[in-house]
Amino acid sequence: MKKKKNLIIAIIIFLIIVICIIRKNDFKEFKDDIIFFKNYYSSMKKDRRETNGNDYINIIEVSTKKYNKKEISLFSNLTNQIGWNKIIYPGTGGEIPIKLYGVENLKYKIIFKSKNQKPENLVFMANGKEYKTLEELGDDLTGNLQKGEIKELLVNWKWEYEISKEQDIQDTIDGKQIEKYNFEIITKGEEI
């Protein structure tokens, strides 16, 4: 009976070792997943600390006395991104949250100025319309602000993909440059 019990234990240990060897790659992937989620959680905590718990990291005062601007990149706005955290590639999308603060009663206009080339298939959406560039979109972002009022705007973006073979080649080229894509958000205020 004791030999039979030892044989069963030996077989179980042998099977566990075989399973571990077979699943070694799966364990590596599991370990990578744990590291990914640890880094993801850390970056979320860091994002929250940087914004004091506020998702709107693009807070801009609007005044009639001066232009206010803030240089940002898509990477600074990836907390709500569709897809992998902190990675932008064809098929992903996200949003650019903007919060305006009225220093006085005024009519505002938002101007975008790209600092370098954006990916060709990257498009922007706001107010139910789609735009090929941020500069086009800026022409439609106007409105009124009262003194002390805070207005929240969301500009959505998506990187379209699998349009054509030529576009896939362009996506590959653009994917190597996406980290360099920066732009300015400039606010201009006029008296009402």
Which is higher by pLDDT, 103 or 72? 103
Domain residue extents for the chain: 2-48, 54-190
Q: Is the pLDDT of residue 25 over 90?
A: no
Residues 48-54, mean pLDDT to the nearest whole number:
39
2, two tokens: 């004791």
Q: Is the pLDDT of residue 73 over 70?
A: yes
pLDDT tens, residue by residue, 136-151: 998 889 999 999 999 9
Distance CA 67, CA 135 (A): 16
The mean of the pLDDT values for the chain is 76
* Residue 101, helix vs strand vs coil: strand
Distance CA 143, CA 149 (A): 12
Supply the pLDDT for residue 125: 93
Supply the pLDDT for residue 78: 55
User: Of all residues in the chain, what percent carry a pLDDT higher than 70?
Assistant: 71
Picking from 111, 107, 110, the residue whose alpha carbon sits closest to that of residue 146 is: 107
